[in-house]
Structures are given as C-alpha cells and as structure tokens.
Amino acid sequence: MLSYIIKRLIYMVFTIAFISVVSFIVIQLPPGDYLTTMISQMEAQGDVVSAELEAALRVRYGLDQPMHKQYFTWVTRILTRLDFGYSFAYNQPVRNLLGDRLLMTMAVSASAMLFAWIVAFPIGIISAVKQYSLFDYFSTFLGFLGMATPSFLLALVLLWVCYQVFGTNASGLFSQEFINAPWSMARVGDMLSRIWLPMIVGGFQSAAGLIRTLRANMLDELRKPYVTTAKAKGLANAFLIIKYPVRIAINPFLSSVAWMFPQLISGMSITGIVLNLPTLGPLLLNSLQNQDMYLAGSVVLILSVLTVTGTLVSDLLLAWVDPRIRYQ
Amino acid sequence: MNKDNNIILEVRNLDVKFFQDIGTVNAVNGATFQLPEGKSIGIVGESGCGKTITAYSTIGLLPPGGKITNGEILYTQRDGSVVDTAQLRKDGKEIRSIRGRDISMIFQEPMTALSPVHTIYNQLSEMIRLHLDLNEKEIRERSIELLQMVGIPAADKRIDEYVFQLSGGMRQRVMIAMALASYPRILIADEPTTALDVTIQAQVLKVIKDLQEKLSLSLILITHDLGVVAHMVDYVYVMYLGRMVESGPVDQLLVEPLHPYTKGLLRSIPRVRGERQDRIDSIPGTVPDAYFLPQGCPFHSRCNELVGEICKKEAPERVCVGSEHYVSCHIYSGSVNEGGAIDG
C-alpha cells in the first residue's frame, strides 16, 4: 500500500508539471499579451504610448524573453520562494491575491460538497428503497430540476427571494463592515452566517447528480443475492440495507471527491461573480480575459494540484472501503 | 407421506403470483409438499417451474412484486405450536425470528450471495450474534468451529479473509457454515452446486449430506438435477409449472417414474455407460408461458402419452399409486377410479 502511495505521488508530480507547461502555453496562445491589452486600453483613453515606452515595459515585465525562459523563471520562483509571479492587472504579487481567496474557495467548496453529500445521501437511499413511491417521484423531480438549473440562475433567484422576503442583500461572503476587516472571530462568524447561500447554490447541482447516481446504484445493489442472504439470516431491513447495499453503493460518492473539488472552483466562476464571492473562480475568469498570464497560470496550477490530490484522496478512500481494490 | 412422521414443515396449495405492469406471472400454482422432521426431500424441475419461489415463500423472501395469493405454509415450532408463515407480516419480527434461527438457506451463487466487502468473520459472526446469546470470544470460537466443520483448512486464518480470496467450493462451504451457525432445524439448499465445477460439486454435496445426518437437520434440496437428488434425499417432488406433478420415495420414483414429465426428465440425463447415444433425448416443446396457464393438465402441450381430450380440459387429480408414491396424470386417475382402492 505504501509503495502504491509513493508511486502515485511521483506520478502526481509529473502530471502537475505537464499540466503547468500546457496551461502556460495555452494561456499565451491568443495573439498579443498583457501589454497589448494595456496599451489598447490606454490608447482608448487618449494616451499615446511610444514605441520606446512599450519596449521598456516589455523588458520590465519580462515579456521580451522567449516563452520557455519565462516559464522556467516562473516555476523556479514558485518552487524556491513560493513566488507565483506578478499580476499585471491587479498590480501586485499573485501570492497576495491568492492567499485569502484560496482559503475562501476551500471554505465555500468544502461546505458546498458537504451540503451535497448530506442532502444526497439519505434522499438517494430512501428513494431507491421506496422505489416508485411519492417520495421517490418527488426526489426524482427535484433531482432533474437541480441538474437542469444553471447555478448562477439559482443564485439570482435566491438573492431575489432574500431581498424580497428578508430585505437583505445576501451576496458576498461578508457584511459591509467586515469586508476589509482583519480576521477575527466576529469576521469568521459573519462569514459562517452568509456562507449558506453559496453552499446551497454550489451544492445543489452536485447533490442532484449524486442523488441520481446513488439511487441507480442502490437499485442495482438491492437486487443482488447478498441482500437476500442477509434477509435470510433474519436481520432487520433497515440494518441490513445500511450494512450491505449502501456500503457498496457508496463507491461513487467517494470517487466524486475527485471531480467535485475542481468542478466547484471552476464551475462556480459565474456564480461567484453573481454572488460577488471573493473566490478563485471570478479571479480566473478575469485573468484569462486580461491575458494576465502569471495569475491565470497560477490559478490553473492550483486547480490542477487540487484535482490530482482529490483523485489520490478518492482512490485511497475507495481502497479503504473496498477490499477488492485494496487486494489487487 | 406417512402420517405418523412428525411433519416439521408443510406447504398446502400454495399460489404465488407476481403482479407486473404487463401481466400477472403465475409462478406457483398449488404447490404442496411435506417435510418430515430429520428427513430430506428434493424438489426437482426445470428452471422457471417455481421451485425456488416455493422455497423462498416459506420464510417470506419473495422478490418485490411477488405475493402469496392462496395456501398455507405450516411450520411446527420448537415448542410444538404450528405457525402459518404465509400469514406473518412481511419482514416482521415473527418471520425474522424464524429466518436463520429455525429455517436457514444456502443459495446458488456463493460469490454473489456473500458480500464482497465484508470479511467472512463479519458475515458469519453476525448470524451468531443475532440468534445466539454468546460473548465475543465464544462467537469467534463458534465461527472457527463452523468453518472447520464444513472442511475449510486453516479456518482460523481464512476467517479474516474476504470471499473473493476463496475458491468457488470454499465459498459455498462458507455459505453452508453460515446457514448452520445458529443451530437451525430446517436447511433449504437452493441449487447449491449449480454454480460450481463438477469436481467440486460432489464434495460440497457430501458436506451437506454429512452435516444433515450429523445434526439431524430437515433438508429441502432444490435442484434441476435428478442425479444429485438420487444421492441426497429420501423423497422427491417433481414440479412443473408451479405445481407438483409427481412425488415419491427417491429409489422408487427414479426407477419407476410414472408421470410423462418425470420420464422425460430421466431420459434427458446423458448416460455415460451402456450403449452409446447419438443424441440426448429432450422433452419436446417449451415450458408454457407463466402469464397464461394452459387449461387442463399443465403438461398436455408437451406430453407424448396423451389420454385424450380430457388432458386439454381437466386438470388431473393427485392420486396415490403405491407406497407414498403420488402422481397427477389422467393416465393413472382412471385406473384408480376403476380399481377403487390403491392405498390412499
């Protein structure tokens, strides 16, 4: 098992390195670079940018270097000094931009995932056990609705309802007075009182998907002979359903760890903008539009690290619950 | 069967139907059998004849959609009182105290009938913990003892392994050990060797037979294989389209089959010795659709010994044609009516 984990960790390093190279190239594929964007903006405002100034800026930002050199400088700094480069658009180091946002993103994503699990788990099981009951039809309806509703739309609807019913603005992760305040217990409390909205919006779609998956898996497992065996032992239904079919139908839940994390971060870009969340999603979208390459590259790098780690974690979880995987 | 035997389980005129959107499947139509205490009976028939459903009904294990619409399943409990398990609430407390504790079951596919993600000990001890009042140490000892009893080598090590680490024959032995864990009185073996290699089949059957005698269990063996029945049971019921068409002591029924269906089944067993067969005999036609039961004798569409129009119009009565030998066929109903009294 240990050698397996070490092997996986080595693979992970290569995967991440490969992704970082590819994303660095892809980000720079569109014609022009950050400077062309900046200059065209300045010219739109009536400023004249001389060729000398442009060349000077290019040297200052390191944009005159060939791409592979830029990449290696960037990567070396990350590895040696955790310096993710400089954001042209925000005019500050990428690391400053990422710090808080990464934390927020993790908080929002983790709570959304938790929400999805807690909602999907009992609903999925009950609707399979009571197939074709009123409850099953209702949860099926809810599930399809959840999968079909774009989360930014759900976000808008919930914001509107909040405003109409409670007269409050529920967007953002913090109230007005806490937005720029330093971290304190009160600030954390304020965040917790507001995190429910992105939690529901972000988790709803995943929950809907998980309900469908769990229901289908449970229906398969409930018909398996080992369920009859357990019944023939004289075990009570509720007990044996949780001990046997649920235990086996749970596998896709655990593999969902792998894809839910990155999906929650990148998938919530538009929702993040609608809800005005200080998370990575909107930052990534912005940086791609501006060709703010170090910022974009860093976000993609972090996303890929999360994805690869998520895959490893979910594989380890699967091996933990399923001896068939463990022993192969 | 002889009245002075203690009947531990008796099924009378059992009807089981499956109600589905496209129609009603008549899975069991008046099945009747008796299991004397400490004896072994076999229920034989082609797949789909309702033998498994009949057995499942006895402890209320019908698959979803299945319903007992008629008949009684009379189980004589340890204290001598008789309970009709067909009347007990589905998966209720009473039936669950009979399942596993009094009536145990062995299933066809040991690989899928055991959980792949729980250790053998986990699944075995669960049965003991549920029905017997033992402490953890005793449960462990009993579990190992059970595995040794069914002939699993290095039982104390094997017990913590998973089912997929065992061979097919070993898996079925685990299944047998589990079924016998809490000293049941009746063992129902549903095609226990069908999924196994031929070489392993005999071993597993021997384990069942030995334990049945040693523990004086009452055994119901369900199989499509008349060859298996010959070595294993005292008395055989032949089932066709959800009812018993012939029953008798095993040596008599196999030597002198009376019902055309039983004869057909016996003819279709390939012979190794004796003169060489160019082709194996089979019963012509297919089993009629269980959605629409045929009128008259259920076997008339495939029978090669039709008496006449009566076969298509009237279902034959069950008549006694010898010592504990019964048959439902018009060929014999006539002889009884005329002769009047051949035991009955």
**Global ipTM:** 0.87
Per-residue pLDDT, B344: 37
* Alpha-carbon span A282 to B249, nearest angstrom: 82
Q: Of A136, A119, A3, A20, which is closest to residue A67 (Cα–Cα)?
A: A20
Tokens representing A118 are: 């807690």
Radius of gyration of chain B (CA): 21
B58 touches chain A (CB under 8 A): no
Which part of chain B is CATH 3.40.50.300?
A: 1-102+184-274
Residue of B nearest to A233 (CA): B100
Mean pLDDT (whole number) for B147-156 = 95
Confidence of residue B334 (pLDDT cuts 50, 70, 90): low
Mean pLDDT (whole number) for B21-30 = 91
Per-residue pLDDT, A265: 66
Residues of B in contact with A246 (CB under 8 A): none
Q: Of A302, A195, A314, which is closest to residue A250 (Cα–Cα)?
A: A314
Give the one of B96, B113, B164 whose C-beta lies nearest to A234's C-beta.
B96
The domain A101-326 is placed in CATH, from the list 1.10.3720.10, 3.40.50.2300, 1.10.287.130, 3.40.50.300, at 1.10.3720.10
User: Are B96 and A236 inside 8 Å of each other by CB?
Assistant: yes
- Cβ contacts below 8 Å, chain A against chain B, sum to 78
Judge whether residue B281 has pLDDT over 50: yes
Poorest-pLDDT segment among A57-71, B63-77, B131-145: A57-71
Is the distance from CB of A71 to CB of A19 less than 8 angstroms? no
* Alpha-carbon span B54 to B16, nearest angstrom: 8
Rounded to 5°, angle at Cα B16 from B12 and B20: 170
Per-residue pLDDT, B339: 39
What is the CATH T-level fold of the domain B1-102+184-274, as seen in this structure?
Rossmann fold (3.40.50)
The DSSP call for residue A182 is P
Residues of B in contact with A228 (CB under 8 A): 56, 61, 107, 113
Give the one of A232, A236, A322 whose C-beta lies nearest to B59's C-beta.
A232
Per-residue pLDDT, B3: 47
Q: How many CB atoms lie within 10 A of CB B280?
A: 10
B97 touches chain A (CB under 8 A): yes
User: Are A247 and B117 inside 8 Å of each other by CB?
Assistant: yes
Residues of A in contact with B91 (CB under 8 A): 231, 236-237
Q: Which amino acid is residue A221, in one-letter code?
A: E
pTM of the model: 0.82
Tens-level pLDDT at each residue, chain A (328 residues): 788 889 889 999 999 999 989 988 888 887 777 788 778 888 888 877 788 888 888 887 778 888 888 888 888 888 888 888 888 888 888 988 888 888 888 888 888 888 998 999 999 999 999 999 999 999 999 899 988 988 889 999 999 998 898 888 888 888 877 877 788 888 888 888 888 888 999 888 889 988 999 999 999 999 999 999 999 999 999 999 999 999 999 887 787 777 776 776 666 778 888 888 888 888 888 888 888 888 988 988 888 888 888 888 888 888 888 888 877 6
Residues of B in contact with A226 (CB under 8 A): 112-116
Confidence of residue B143 (pLDDT cuts 50, 70, 90): very high
B176 touches chain A (CB under 8 A): no
Tokens representing B41 are: 């009976």
Which part of chain A is CATH 1.10.3720.10?
A: 101-326
User: Are A225 and B107 inside 8 Å of each other by CB?
Assistant: yes
Q: Which of B115, B122, B187 to mutate to test the interface with A (most CBs of A within 10 A)?
A: B115
Give the one of A223, A231, A323 whose C-beta lies nearest to B162's C-beta.
A323
State whether the Cα torsion A300-A301-A302-A303 is positive or negative.
positive
Per-residue pLDDT, B342: 43
User: Phi and psi of B238, rounded to 5°?
Assistant: -100, 125
Per-residue pLDDT, A3: 84
- Write the pLDDT tens digit of every residue in B212-227: 999 999 999 999 988 8
User: Phi and psi of A68, rounded to 5°?
Assistant: -65, -30
Please tell me the distance in Å from B100's CA to the nearest CA on chain A.
4
Give the one of A223, A234, A243 whose C-beta lies nearest to B131's C-beta.
A234
User: Are B96 and A235 inside 8 Å of each other by CB?
Assistant: yes
Rounded to 5°, angle at Cα B302 from B299 and B306: 75
